[in-house]
Amino acid sequence: MFLVLPAVGYQPSDYLPIVIQFGLAIAFVAFAMTASHLIGPRRKSKVKDEAFECGIESVGNARTPISVKYFLTAILFVLFDVEVIFMYPWAVNFRALGTAGFVEMLVFITLLMAGFGYVIKKGILRWNEA
């Protein structure tokens, strides 16, 4: 019924490959940035130093106030997107989780939809209204 794993004591030397790979990654990034700085071209002009954004010339102040609904929509997208990510491992292990796993996912989806209903009721996703 239950899988019993033997007690394994990890030693600090077991993590040495991870530390080496992390160190090599940092060294590569430092090397690439230094090499591009030393070898790269240094041509400066008024046009090259200008801010470039999607081919559109920048006009006005970049510090204009933005509606809070934009940020609420972005946060809600991230929130619901992350919650949906939890469904992938559940789907992969659907048969192994059995009825208990199915009921737990129903509770999860119910709470997710309750939150979505609350968001719709509050009108957070309505952009056209002033």
Question: Is the pLDDT score of 2 beyond 70?
Answer: no
Q: What is the pLDDT of residue 11?
A: 82
Q: What is the pLDDT of residue 102?
A: 92
Predicted confidence band of residue 53 (pLDDT cuts 50, 70, 90): low
Average pLDDT of the residues in 88-96: 89
Residue 85 lies in a domain: yes
Does the reported pTM lie above 0.85? no
For the chain, the domain total comes to 1
Q: Taking the alpha carbons of 67, 73, 74, 79 in that order, is the dihedral positive or negative?
A: positive
Residue 104 lies in a domain: yes
Average pLDDT of the residues in 63-91: 84
Q: Which domain holds residue 114?
A: 67-129
Helices assigned H by DSSP within the chain = 16-39, 68-85, 87-92, 94-122
Residue 77 lies in a domain: yes
Question: Is the pLDDT score of 69 beyond 70?
Answer: yes
Distance between CA atoms of residues 56 and 102, nearest Å: 51
Q: What is the pLDDT of residue 10?
A: 77
Alpha-carbon distance values, 36 to 7, 29, 31, 40, 76 (Å)? 49, 11, 8, 5, 39
Average pLDDT of the residues in 2-11: 67
> 90 or 23, which is more confident?
23
Residue 99 lies in a domain: yes
Mean pLDDT of the chain: 84
Residue 92 lies in a domain: yes
Residue 26 lies in a domain: no
Residue 15 lies in a domain: no
Residue 101 belongs to a domain with what CATH number? 1.20.58.1610
Residue 10 lies in a domain: no
Q: What is the pLDDT of residue 65?
A: 82
Could you tell me the two tokens for 26? 């940092």
